[in-house]
C-alpha cells in the first residue's frame, strides 16, 4: 500500500537550516580541532573554555551528537566521530571546514536577499556596483575565506578525478583557475611523473604558493598568472588543461570565451578536462547540482550547465567530446573529457 502523504519531507528540508548552523558554529569554535587525535571534553569544560553558559553549550553539543558529528559516551564525555575527525580537523589534507566557513560567512547572509536576487537577476554576495567580479583581491571576506574554501571543496573531489581518469599518458597539466592547488597536489601525489601549473590571478597565485610549498611539491607545481578572458591569455604547451569548478561562475557568453581560449591553447592530441556538478541534460536534477546552480543566483552570473551544453560548445571550438565519467565528489559529479584532433 502507498504510504500516506505527510509534510515530513518539508520539515526535513527546514531542519537543514538548523543542522547547517550547528555545523557552522562548531567549525567557527574549532571544536572538532580541539578534540582531534582522541581528545574529549565535558559539557562544563566546553562551556568554560568558550565562555558560554551551559544551557546553550548543551543545546549545541546535543545537536552535534544527533548529527553524528560528535559521540557522547556514558561518562558524559564528547569525542569526534570518524567523519569529523577526518574532514573537520584543521590541518588535515581533506579538511572541509573551509567550505563550511565560506557558506556560513559569505553565502548564508546573502540568502536573506534571495528574493531580490530572483527578481533582479543579480548576485548579493558581493558589490556588483563597485566590483568587477566576485574574485576581487580587496574583498576581505573573499580573500580570507574563499580560496581556503575552494581547497576544502576540491580536496576529496580531486582524488575522485585521479581515480576515474587515467593521467598516465599526461606529463604536463595546466590547471586553469586552479587557486588553492587542491587538484594539483592530489594529482601530483597520485602520479609521480606529472607536473602541473596553476594558472590564476596574480594575488591568487601568491596565496596558493605556501600551500604548495607545505605539500613539498614546489618542484612539480609551478605558477603562471594571467587572465583567461584575454585573447591568447591561456598559455599553451601542455598535454592537458583542467577546468575544475570554473565555468559555472560565468555567464554563457563568458563560459564560452573561457572554453574557446582553452581550446585554442591546446595542441593537436591535447586533452581538455571539465569537472563540474553537471545538471542533467533533461534539467530534472540531480538535486546537488541543481541546488548548487541555484546558489549561483546569489553568487555569480552563472549556473551549473549540462554536459550537452558544454559538448556543443567544445565541438564548435574544434574539440571532440568523449562524454562524462561520473563520480561522487563535492561540487563536482563527474569529468567531461574532450580531445583536440
Contacts of 24 (CB under 8 A, 6+ apart): 100, 101, 103, 104, 108
Among 9, 36, 168, 18, residue whose Cα is nearest residue 91: 36
| Beta-carbon-side half-sphere exposure of residue 33 (alpha carbons within 13 Å) | 14
DSSP letter for each residue of 151-200: HHHHHHHHHHHHHHS--TT--EEEEET-TT-HHHHHHHHH-TT-EEEEEE
Tell me the backbone φ, ψ of residue 218, rounded to 5 degrees: -65, -20
Write phi, then psi, for 159 (nearest 5 degrees): -65, -35
Count, residues in the chain = 341
Whether 164 sits among the annotated catalytic residues: the reply is no
Write phi, then psi, for 172 (nearest 5 degrees): -130, 135
- Cα–Cα distance between 35 and 85 in angstroms, integer? 8
Distances in Å between the Cα of 160 and the Cα atoms of 134, 325, 335 are 27, 11, 10
What's the CA gap between 100 and 27, in Å, rounded? 7
Residues noted as catalytic: 248
Amino acid at each position: 500500500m502507498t504510504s500516506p502523504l505527510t509534510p515530513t519531507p518539508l520539515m526535513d528540508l527546514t531542519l537543514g537550516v538548523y543542522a547547517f548552523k550547528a555545523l557552522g558554529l562548531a567549525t567557527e569554535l574549532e571544536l572538532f580541532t580541539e578534540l582531534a587525535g582522541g581528545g574529549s571534553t565535558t559539557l562544563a569544560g566546553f562551556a568554560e573554555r568558550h565562555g558560554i553558559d551551559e544551557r546553550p553549550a548543551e543545546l549545541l553539543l546535543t545537536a552535534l551528537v544527533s548529527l553524528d558529528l560528535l559521540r557522547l559516551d556514558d561518562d558524559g564525555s564528547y569525542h569526534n566521530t570518524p567523519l569529523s575527525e577526518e574532514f573537520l580537523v584543521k590541518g588535515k589534507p581533506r579538511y572541509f571546514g573551509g567550505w563550511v566557513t565560506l557558506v556560513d560567512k559569505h553565502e548564508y547572509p546573502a540568502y536573506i536577499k534571495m528574493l531580490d536576487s530572483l527578481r533582479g537577476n543579480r548576485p548579493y554576495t558581493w558589490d556588483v556596483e563597485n566590483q568587477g567580479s566576485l574574485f576581487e583581491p580587496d574583498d576581505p571576506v573573499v580573500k580570507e575565506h574563499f580560496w581556503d574554501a575552494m581547497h576544502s571543496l576540491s580536496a576529496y573531489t580531486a582524488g575522485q578525478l585521479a581515480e576515474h581518469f587515467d593521467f598516465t599518458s599526461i606529463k604536463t597539466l595546466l590547471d586553469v583557475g586552479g587557486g588553492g592547488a587542491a587538484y594539483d597536489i592530489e594529482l601530483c601525489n597520485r602520479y609521480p611523473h606529472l607536473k602541473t601549473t596553476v594558472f590564476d590571478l596574480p594575488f591568487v597565485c601568491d596565496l596558493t604558493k605556501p600551500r604548495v610549498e607545505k605539500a613539498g611539491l614546489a618542484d612539480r607545481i609551478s605558477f603562471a598568472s594571467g587572465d583567461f578572458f584575454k585573447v591568447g591569455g591561456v598559455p599553451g604547451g601542455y598535454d592537458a588543461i583542467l577546468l575544475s569548478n570554473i565555468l559555472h561562475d560565468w555567464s554563457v557568453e563568458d563560459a564560452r570565451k573561457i572554453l574557446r581560449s582553452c581550446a585554442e591553447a591546446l595542441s593537436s592530441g591535447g586533452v581538455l578536462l571539465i569537472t563540474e556538478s553537471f545538471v542533467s541534460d533533461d534539467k530534472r536534477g540531480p538535486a546537488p547540482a541543481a541546488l548548487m546552480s541555484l546558489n549561483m543566483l546569489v553568487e555569480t552570473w552563472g549556473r551549473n550547465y549540462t554536459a550537452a551544453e558544454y559538448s556543443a560548445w567544445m565541438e564548435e571550438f574544434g574539440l571532440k567530446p568523449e562524454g562524462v565519467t561520473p563520480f561522487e565528489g563535492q561540487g563536482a559529479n563527474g569529468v567531461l573529457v574532450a580531445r583536440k584532433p
